[in-house]
């Protein structure tokens, strides 16, 4: 009887020892990201990835603009480099993107610098301040293109009076650009037959004669306008130098720009203005997460096929953001000496 009791006790103690060893190993493995603790580099990798989110949504714009293809490329980079499930979403662009970030329905967003500034201050189309956004950095000039065709007969901004003109999708920053450009030419939105169409809808409307012209604020070349140029003689309406000067003086976030010769089949460059495109991010993303996302994007621009990638310069990304830079992005710029 004693022998049986001793044997049973031995078995119980052995089982308990195995259980405790298994638990200890599991906790040890868990603390090291499922890897053996003997490797210092593995411990470092686990520490670096601890603050990375599992998923990020990148808010872009319409499929015919520049935000959407760039957003898709950035999402692929983030996924490939960091293992984050990243997705680019088509949206109404800048203003809508800011309100979506405020609502917590996205993490990263493309926006115009002027619109981000208005959002932070609660001005223009924003009735309340959006205080949970910070900047990753500026990317490239967003050219204001007043698009029409040769057959429309429109040659100047003043010629838009009485015409059916799209000023962009509801929630985009293009509408405000259109209003301000019309303003310095002595016109208002009431002087045109205003249409609120996306870039794709705008160029389709021009092609089938439903509208006469459209404001398009996007990096050039813009996909929707390129599509139009395949079947129509595209005209980009110029802005006269004195009006450019007046616009920049009144609204300092504008810069002088042009639509280059050859784009859309243009035979000469067309003077206009631009704002800057930028990436904004919710301030709830950790410093480490934004640092790694910023680093991944700017150090893999060679993987982006869109023409705008060639002019994105991380050394200039802090310039003209209009809102404060996220500490994670600032860490990257400090590290690079920008």
- Give the C-alpha separation, 192 to 220, whole Å: 25
Angle CA 185–323–297, to nearest 5: 105
In what helix (H) or strand (E) does residue 114 lie, and over which residues does it extend? Answer: helix 113-121
What does the pLDDT read at residue 172? 79
In DSSP notation, 282-338 reads ETTS-HHHHHHHHHHHHT-GGG--SGGGGG--GGGTTTT-SSPBPHHHHHHHHHHT-
Is it the case that residue 328 has pLDDT exceeding 50?
yes
Buried b (16+ CB within 10 A) or exposed e, 160-174: bbebbbbbbbebbbb
- Give the C-alpha separation, 107 to 92, whole Å: 16
Taking only the tens place, the pLDDT of each residue in 276-307 is: 999 999 999 999 999 999 999 999 999 999 98
Outline where DSSP puts E strands in 4-77.
55-59
- Give the C-alpha separation, 178 to 216, whole Å: 9
Is it the case that residue 32 has pLDDT exceeding 90?
no
Highest mean predicted confidence (pLDDT) among 1-5, 28-32, 119-123: 119-123
Is the torsion defined by CA of 302, 307, 311, 313 positive or negative? negative
pTM: 0.74
142-275 and 53-140+277-336 share a CATH fold: yes
CATH code for 142-275? 3.40.190.10
Query: CA nearest 25: which of 11, 40, 13, 35?
Result: 35
Is it the case that residue 7 has pLDDT exceeding 70?
no
**Residue 231: exposed, middle, or buried by beta-carbon count in 10 A (0-12, 13-18, 19+)?**
exposed
**What pairs with residue 270 in β-bridges?**
259
Q: How confident is the model over 317-331, as a mean pLDDT? A: 94
What does the pLDDT read at residue 21? 47
Q: Where do the structural domains in the chain lie, given as residue ranges?
A: 53-140+277-336, 142-275
Name the CATH code of domain 53-140+277-336 (choices 3.40.50.300, 1.10.132.50, 2.40.30.10, 3.40.190.10): 3.40.190.10
Per-residue pLDDT band at 13 (split at 50, 70, 90)? low
- Give the C-alpha separation, 103 to 228, whole Å: 35
Taking only the tens place, the pLDDT of each residue in 46-103 is: 445 558 999 999 999 999 889 999 999 999 999 999 999 999 999 999 999 999 999 9
The reply to whether omega before 4 is within 30° of 0 (cis) is no
Does 105 or 319 have the greater pLDDT score?
105
């Amino acid at each position: 009887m004693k022998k049986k009791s001793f044997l049973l006790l031995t078995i119980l103690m052995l089982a308990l020892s195995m259980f405790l060893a298994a638990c200890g190993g599991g906790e040890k493995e868990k603390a090291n990201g499922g890897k053996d603790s003997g490797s210092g580099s593995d411990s470092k990798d686990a520490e670096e990835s601890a603050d990375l989110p599992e998923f990020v949504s990148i808010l872009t714009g319409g499929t015919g603009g520049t935000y959407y293809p760039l957003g898709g490329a950035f999402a692929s980079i983030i996924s490939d480099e960091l293992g984050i499930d990243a997705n680019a979403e088509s949206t109404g662009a800048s203003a809508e993107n800011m309100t979506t970030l405020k609502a917590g329905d996205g993490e990263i967003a493309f926006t115009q610098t002027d619109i981000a500034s208005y959002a932070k201050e609660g001005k223009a189309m924003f009735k309340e301040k959006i205080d949970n956004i910070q900047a990753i950095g500026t990317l490239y000039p967003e050219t204001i293109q007043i698009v029409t065709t040769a057959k429309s007969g429109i040659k100047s901004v003043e010629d838009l009076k009485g015409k059916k003109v799209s000023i962009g999708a509801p929630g985009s920053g293009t509408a405000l650009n259109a209003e301000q450009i019309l303003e310095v030419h002595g016109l208002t939105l009431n002087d045109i037959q205003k249409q609120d169409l996306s870039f794709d809808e705008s160029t389709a409307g021009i092609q089938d004669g439903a509208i006469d012209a459209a404001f398009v604020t996007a990096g050039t070349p813009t996909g929707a306008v390129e599509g139009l140029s395949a079947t129509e003689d595209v005209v980009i309406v110029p802005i006269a130098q004195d009006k450019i000067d007046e616009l920049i003086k009144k609204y300092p976030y504008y810069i002088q720009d042009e639509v280059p010769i050859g784009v859309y089949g243009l035979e000469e460059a067309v003077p206009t203005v631009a704002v800057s495109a930028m990436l904004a991010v919710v301030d709830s993303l950790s410093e480490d997460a934004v640092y790694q996302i910023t680093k991944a994007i700017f150090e893999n621009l060679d993987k982006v096929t869109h023409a705008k990638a060639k002019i994105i310069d991380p050394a200039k990304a802090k310039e003209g953001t209009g809102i404060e830079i996220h500490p994670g992005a600032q860490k990257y710029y400090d590290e690079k000496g920008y």
